[in-house]
Chain A
Amino acid sequence: MGELMALLVTSVLVNNVILTQFLGMCPFMGVSKKKSSAIGMGVAVVFVIVVAALVTYALYYLVLVPLQLEFMDLITFILVIASLVQLTEMFIKKTSPALYKSLGVYLPLITTNCVVLNVCLVNISNSYNFAQMLVYSIGTPLGFALVLFIFSTIRERLEQSEVPNAFVGNPIALIVAAIMAMAFSCFTGIV
């Protein structure tokens, strides 16, 4: 149990997926201009990653390994993730307009999100057992959502400041990310 807690804290704070592993930068730069979109994106990412990790894990150990087709892992994962996102979007469109309004639009952005593919690949390459896989797959997107939310609040404030011409837009956002990375690096000794 303690080991799982340590894994959770590591994946959320210490090895934060955006600030330490640099994954998920595209939605990080694109969707973080407003708090509401950051929240929607965060919830969508948590949902997709958990489901995708479960399905790809099961598929890998129940189909690819017995048939000795491990080399198909990358292609399988990307196809499964893409199909899952389409399926989820269809499901949400048909069942809950309210849910679609809040997070449906962010679902397609997650198909080529580095984070999902990375979580699926790491689950396999680190040979996690089921419990570890579950904890890692919940912790990583939580870390992503946390940083995205914090970043969006800072960016909203940044809109009203005076920034040198060349730095307007993405460059100044990256400097903010650098400072956040510095702050988060203080978590390194925690486990």
Chain B
Amino acid sequence: MNRFENFKAGLIKDNPVFSLFLGICSTLAITTSVNNAIGMGVSVIIVLIMSNVIISCVRKITPDEIRIPVYIVIIATLVKIIQMLIQAYAPSLNTSLGVFIPLIVVNCIILGRAEAFASKNGVLDSALDGLGMGLGYTLAVLAMSFIRELISTGGIKVVNPFNEAQVWLNLHIIPEDFTVSIFGSSVGAFITFAVLAAAVGAYKQHVTAKEEAAAKEEK
């Protein structure tokens, strides 16, 4: 598949969260604020790209039968390194993301892309695929957290993860009296996710229907 097509597919059509339903656990839990979403999205992109690259480099020398255990070990090591870096340089992010940083290890997206793509393609393709899927994930969590934070607190607040005192963005759009705080809790997470997933599913159906109609006309 064309490199660029593959990259684009990871963004909406094959969006790992809303289309393939991978990595739902972290999506639902960390999208309470845009800040957390950005931090998590960036971590996932880094882990995805690095794990895809490493696995693509070693794909010719790993014995075929034990490749899944080998991938799990590589991913676990990478995540631990990232976790230690976050603990050292962005402690506020560490407190707000909590246990979901080590849980990136069992995030189905990473192992899924490693097995489905990185084990069969070259280094550059795998890196691009990791970037595409990571961006798709980040877009998904950003969309969800934007909606949730806006409705539950009335505004968006983004701070510098490396220096909590520095506020990058502080918007107040909806007045306090009209906020629906339930969107900050688990109920709101499920509802937002369901609606967004339905929207992406409807879009995909629409696109497939158009493609089929175009193909029929050509015949």
Contact = CB atoms under 8 A, between A and B. Distances in A.
- The answer to whether A and B touch in the complex, with CB atoms under 8 Å apart, is yes
Interface of A: 19-26, 29, 71, 74-75, 78-79, 82, 112-114, 117-118, 121-122, 125, 164-167, 169-172, 174-175, 177-178, 181-182, 185
Contacts of A24: 25
B57 to A, nearest CB: 20
A122 B98 CA distance: 11
A71 B83 CA distance: 10
Interface in B167-209: 185-191, 193-195, 197-199, 201-202, 205
Contacts of A178: 186-191, 194
A187 B199 CA distance: 32
28 contacts: A19-B186, A22-B24, A23-B103, A25-B24, A25-B28, A74-B76, A74-B83, A75-B73, A79-B73, A82-B72, A112-B106, A112-B111, A114-B103, A117-B102, A117-B106, A121-B102, A166-B201, A166-B205, A167-B198, A171-B194, A171-B195, A171-B198, A171-B201, A174-B197, A175-B191, A178-B186, A178-B191, A185-B187
A141 B76 CA distance: 24
A114 B25 contact: yes
B197 A170 contact: yes
Given A78-B105, A117-B105, A166 B190 contact: no
A122 B186 CA distance: 20
A16 B178 CA distance: 29
Contacts of B194: 167, 171-172, 174-175, 178
Interface residues of B, number: 39
B202 A181 contact: no
Contacts of A175: 190-191, 194
A114 B193 CA distance: 19
B141 to A, nearest CB: 13
Contacts of B69: 82
**Would you list the 10 A-B pairs with minimal beta carbon distance, nearest first?**
A178-B190, A174-B194, A166-B202, A171-B198, A22-B28, A166-B198, A25-B24, A22-B29, A112-B106, A181-B186
Contacts of A172: 194
A177 B190 contact: yes
A122 B25 CA distance: 16
Interface of B: 21-22, 24-26, 28-29, 69, 72-73, 76-77, 79-80, 83-84, 99, 102-103, 105-106, 108, 111, 185-191, 193-195, 197-199, 201-202, 205
A23 B98 CA distance: 13
Contacts of B103: 23, 114, 117-118
- Which of B72, B73, B187 has its CB near the most chain A CB atoms (within 10 A)? B187
A2 to B, nearest CB: 27
Contacts of B195: 171
A105 to B, nearest CB: 17
Contact of A74 (B24, B102, B189, B205): B102
A84 to B, nearest CB: 14
Contacts of B105: 74, 78, 117
Given A29-B24, A114-B106, A165 B202 contact: yes
Contacts of A112: 106, 108, 111
A14 to B, nearest CB: 12
Contacts of B26: 22
Given A24-B25, A117-B102, A75 B186 contact: no
A146 B148 CA distance: 28
A176 to B, nearest CB: 9
Nearest to B204: A166
A23 B27 CA distance: 10
Interface centre among A23, A164, A165 (most CB of B within 10 A): A23
